[in-house]
Amino acid sequence: MTAAADRSQRWNRLLELLSESGRLTVEEAAAILSVSPATIRRDFTSLADQQLATRTHGGIVATSVAYDLPARYRGTGDEPKQRVAEYAAALVNPTEVVGLNGGTTTTAVARALAGRPDLPTSADNPMTIVTNALNIAGELVLRPHLRTICIGGQARRESYELHGPLAERAMAQLHLDTLILGVNAITAAGGAQGRHLDESGINAEMVRRADRVIVVATAEKLETTALARICPIEDIDILVIDTAADPEAIDAIRETGVRVDLV
């Protein structure tokens, strides 16, 4: 694993700990993460620079975003999901316009993107994130080297996703270089699928507006189907999924021409 990936994982874990306790000391964090106090001090400074925490003498305290997020979005606690997220984030050019729909996997991708050390620092050419997920927008808007666009619409409280005619009209005016798409199910025959009609509708519009579609999923998403089709398999360029995925299902998807990266 690269140093950047290690750092991203530490930052995500530190934010998760902050969301649980509200504050951390250098000594506590170093013991939990099994790294040196000097490493933790640098991490604390970086999190404070990105306005994700407030530096205090000997530690940090949580910002309202880190503290108020629902538990399901605070941290994945899921190694395969984290691997998928970090790999997908590394596929993105740092000056692209990147779309992200809602979900725990795409939230992990958003954090991995924001933690990349190669993001442009110039305000003239930042990475731009377009999302219909309120939790992703709420986190990324604090990052000084990202431009965050949150489309409008009706919010679904279970997923923090915006949907409906207003969201679809907003997306119709935008262009995405890359869409990172989270799904509830994916198969060669059924394509990318979602559980909810309205969310799947706006996700389908995001697919139509993207030059490249990267689906991020964990192995269990190959073992089920969902109510609504987001897009046919032919609209997907890359599937990033963990190595526990069923080989036969993966072969069937590859036969359609989709690139599958196992991580």
- Do the Cβ atoms of 53 and 61 come closer than 8 Å? yes
Crossing angle of the two packed helices 26-33 and 37-49, in degrees rounded to 10: 110
The HSE-up count of residue 50 (CA atoms within 13 Å, CB side) is 24
Tens of pLDDT, residue by residue over 124-147, are 788 999 999 999 998 888 787 899
pTM: 0.77
pLDDT at 67: 46
Lowest mean pLDDT of 14-23, 61-70, 100-109, 250-259, name the range. Answer: 61-70
* pLDDT score, position 91: 98
| Residue range 3-68, CATH number | 1.10.10.10
User: What confidence tens digit (pLDDT) does each residue in 89-108 have?
Assistant: 999 999 999 999 999 999 99
Q: Which two tokens stand for residue 161?
A: 């996703």
**Best CA proximity match to 105, nearest among 141, 72, 134:** 72
pLDDT of 227 strictly over 50:
yes
- When pLDDT is averaged across residues 136-165 and rounded to a whole number, the result is 88
Average pLDDT over residues 173-179: 97
Contacts of 34 (CB under 8 A, 6+ apart): none
CATH number of 72-262: 3.40.50.1360
| CATH 3.40.50.1360 domain locations along the chain | 72-262
Question: Which residues make up the CATH 1.10.10.10 domain(s) of the chain?
Answer: 3-68
